[in-house]
Copies of this chain bind each other. A is one copy, B any other.
Amino acid sequence: MVEAQLLSKNQQIVLDIIENAKAPLKAYSILFNVQKKGINAPQQIYRALDKLIEIGKIHKIESKNAFVACKNANCEVSKATAFSICERCEKVEELNDLKLSKYLSSYSDKTGMKYKKYNLEFFGLCKKCK
C-alpha cells in the first residue's frame, strides 16, 4: 500500500480546481480562479502544477497547454499517458486501456531503443459531436 502523498496548501488548491473542472484548464485560467485565495503570481501556479505532475495527480495535454486530473490509479508509476481529444468540443478523456498501454510500454523501435515514458494524443470527434 502506497502512502497517500500530503499536498501543500497551494498544491491542494490547484488540484481541487483541476479535479472539479469539466475540461482541461490552462495555467492562467487557474490563476484567475484562485486570486481570491491569495495566489497572485504565475510562479505559484506553475510550481504546484509541476509537483502535481511529478506525483501523477495531473497530466499536461501537450497539444493544448492545459492540465487535467488523473483518474487512473497507476499513472503515478507508469508515466504512460493517452488521451482522446474531440476536435469540435475540445472534450478530453484519459484513456485507460490496458491493452494499449501494454502494447506501447513494451514497444521498442528498430534501433532497439527502449522507452520509459510516452504520451499519446488521439484526435477525432466525440459521440456528441459526430
Contacts and interface: CB of A to CB of B under 8 A. Distances in A.
Interface in A75-123: 84, 87, 93, 95, 97, 100, 103-104, 107, 109-123
Stoichiometry, copies per complex: 2
A119 to B, nearest CB: 5
A81 B123 CA distance: 12
Contacts of A120: 104, 118-121
A7 to B, nearest CB: 25
Contacts of A123: 115-119
B97 A113 contact: no
Contacts of A121: 62, 118-120
A27 interface: no
Contacts of A111: 93, 126-127
B115 A107 contact: no
A63 interface: yes
A124 interface: yes
Given A63-B62, A103-B103, A124 B119 contact: no
10 contacts: A62-B121, A84-B115, A103-B103, A109-B122, A111-B127, A115-B123, A118-B120, A118-B121, A119-B121, A120-B121
